Amino acid sequence: MIKPYKEEILEQQGTGRMFRIRTFESEVDDTELIWHRDKRSRTVHVLSGNGWKLQLDDELPTELEVGKQYYIIKNSYHRLIKGENNLVIRIEE
């Protein structure tokens, strides 16, 4: 399956913690941003992007704000809604 993002995995020096940097391009097809569940809980830090939204199951979409973080509980359905430019996030699991 082709992922709708590009991913880079980084290690925080001195801690051994791993981070994922994901970039969703503004040209991504809306049909690729599907409802899904993750196997682990994660904290998502928004590094850049404008107009993107996160929608959790049974909730209205929330606009993602640069500099804020969002917690997604494992096995909970969620999806992204495309914004105006590229979205770059850092994921901690």
- Could you report how far apart the first and last alpha carbons of the chain are, in Å? 22
pLDDT over threshold 80, residue 1: no
Question: Read out DSSP for the chain?
Answer: ---SSEEEEEE-TTT--EEEEEEE-TT--GGGS--B--SS-EEEEEEE-SS-EEEETTS--EE--TT-EEEE-TT--EEEE--SS-EEEEEE-
Report the C-alpha gap between 93 and 76 in whole angstroms. Answer: 14
Query: For the residues 43-66, what does the mean pLDDT come to?
Result: 98
pLDDT 10s digits, 58-90:
999 999 999 999 999 999 999 999 999 999 999
Burial of 71 (0-12, 13-18, 19+ CB in 10 A): exposed
Residue 73: predicted pLDDT: 97
pLDDT 10s digits, 23-43:
999 999 999 999 999 999 999
